[in-house]
A = this chain, B = another copy of it.
Amino acid sequence: MPLGQNYDRQDCALARALEIVGERWTLLVLRDCFFGVRRFADLRAHLDIPRAVLSDRLATLVDAGLLARRNYAPGRDEYVLTDTGLDLWPAVYSLARFGDRHLVGPGGGRRRFRHADCPEGGAELAAGAVCPACGTLPAPSSLETYLLVPAADTDRPVRDDAVSVALRRPHRLLAPLP
């Protein structure tokens, strides 16, 4: 079964989650949604993903209730995280944190998250997406993300799509991008 995607035989919550979120590209799409990307064309340009695949993944996510599709102008749609979708934040953060700490080489860009609305002044998120200053698990909307090292100083080719450019400066999660 090519990740067409069912892990039928597994009676396991993780298998259920992976049937939705375990397809290729899906978690990267969701990460972009957490950043605030909302339009098809922006996702496409930022992720370099084939249109057909993006179209399919968005439909799956809307179907599963993680994203809502809204027609904000005639012929223009946007995709926004639902409450269910927002609940995926600790998983997305934990995976990204794992990648950052164990897989990104010295020349890679390092992105961090701060609890901007923290009553204790805020701090960089710790394991489990917990704010070490106030001890809570902040909602994505109260977080700010920023790059530890300027994009130009990394080894990777500098991307110049609108989303990549906008994300070079600090940004509040979920705030519309670009």
Could you tell me which A residues sit within 8 Å of B by CB distance? 1-5, 7, 9-24, 27-28, 31, 47-48, 64-65, 84, 87-88, 90-92, 94-104, 108-111, 127-130, 135, 137, 151, 154, 156-157, 159
Given contacts A10-B28, A20-B103, A22-B22, 8 further A-B contacts (CB under 8 A): A3-B22, A16-B108, A17-B103, A64-B103, A84-B102, A90-B94, A94-B94, A94-B129
Q: Which of B13, B101, B135 contacts A110 (CB 8 A)?
A: B13
B91 touches A98 (CB 8 A): yes
A102 touches B87 (CB 8 A): yes
Name the B residues within 8 Å of A65 (CB-CB).
102
Name the B residues within 8 Å of A88 (CB-CB).
94, 98
Name the B residues within 8 Å of A127 (CB-CB).
90, 137
A15 touches B98 (CB 8 A): no
Using known A-B contacts A24-B4, A130-B137, determine if residue A99 contacts B13 with beta carbons closer than 8 Å. yes
Q: How far is the CA of A11 from the CA of B9 in the complex (A)?
A: 35
